[in-house]
Amino acid sequence: METPGLELRVLGPLEAAVHGRPVALGGPQPRGVLALLAAAPGRTVGVWVLVDELWGARPPEGAHRTVRTYVSRLRAALRRTGGSDAANALVTRPPGYQLRIDPAAVDAVRFERLVSAGRQALATRPGLAFEHLTDALALWRGDAYAEFRHLPATAARSTQLEQLRLSAVETRIEAALALRLDAQTAVELEGLERTHPTRELLWGQLMIALYRLGRQADALAAFRTARALLMDGHGVDPSPALAEIHHRILRHDVTLAHG
């Protein structure tokens, strides 16, 4: 049975709450155990998997007992905040432990589901897509699993989530362009181009937004900047898709201006 009221947040500093009340999780190692279990909600994570994640190839003597101690501390913290029901969220399941929680009670899972819903709605309901993707991105409070980048499993999960985050930003902008939120989109993209200078889809979206605002010269300048960055950073020319947007702007393509 899943534990109602328990929520875990990993899209930023690790946080746990029971019915909105924050749980004091303790030091880095118990927090690491919970982070590893949160990365696999509803699945059993073996004790020796946890040992390997926490200490690598040279675990201390009695490491498996230490892991059990960390789990006991986490259960005690959950019990103090939410009673025995909350403590029962950490279940012993040979050969290890399982986090018995609704997967959607982990913010990373909610994020993934909202992104999926946004993508599905994009073609026919861009307004709904924009709403879903805005809600998804609002769940982020910082870098995913940031304090656990030294743990292989959570580092891999962090990379996966960060990539999906950037893809969600691009899809949200696509929805915004479909809704003709051109001015808002141009402002957002002019910030993103500085943090993701070789992301061609973002450059193409910026060029379209600027062109629709009557800023053809700025759109063409954006292409020149993107081309220079791609050549300097990767030694490649812009993709055919980005070059096509450039040519359409040069031709004053009416369909590009009106979506």
| pLDDT confidence tier of residue 2, bands split at 50, 70 and 90 | low
pLDDT in tens, 184-209: 999 999 888 888 888 999 999 999 99
Average pLDDT over residues 115-141: 98
Residue 215 CA to residue 177 CA, distance in Å, equals 16
28 with 6: CB under 8 angstroms?
A: no
| pLDDT confidence tier of residue 3, bands split at 50, 70 and 90 | low
Asked if the model's pLDDT at residue 81 lies above 70, the reply is: yes
Residue 160 CA to residue 158 CA, distance in Å, equals 5
Among 51, 83, 103, residue at a domain's last position: 103
Q: How many CB atoms lie within 10 A of CB 74?
A: 24
pLDDT in tens, 202-231: 999 999 999 999 999 999 999 999 999 998
Among 54, 77, 103, residue at a domain's last position: 103
CATH code, domain with 99: 1.10.10.10
| pLDDT confidence tier of residue 259, bands split at 50, 70 and 90 | low
Number of structural domains, the chain? Answer: 2
Residue 47 CA to residue 232 CA, distance in Å, equals 47
Residue 111 CA to residue 167 CA, distance in Å, equals 12
Q: Buried b / exposed e across 1-27, counting CB within 10 Å, b at 16+?
A: eebebbbbbbbbebebbbeeeebebee
Asked if the model's pLDDT at residue 126 lies above 60, the reply is: yes
Residue 133 lies in a domain: no
pTM summary value: 0.93
- Residue-number span of the structural domain to which 228 is assigned: 180-259
Among 56, 72, 103, residue at a domain's last position: 103
Residue 112 lies in a domain: no
Tokens encoding 232: 């300097």
Residue 130 lies in a domain: no
CATH code, domain with 187: 1.25.40.10
Residue 88 lies in a domain: yes
Residue 153 lies in a domain: no
47 with 64: CB under 8 angstroms?
A: yes
Residue 117 lies in a domain: no
Mean per-residue pLDDT over the chain, rounded: 94
Q: Which comes out higher in pLDDT, residue 69 or 255?
A: 69
Asked if the model's pLDDT at residue 258 lies above 80, the reply is: no
Residue 194 lies in a domain: yes
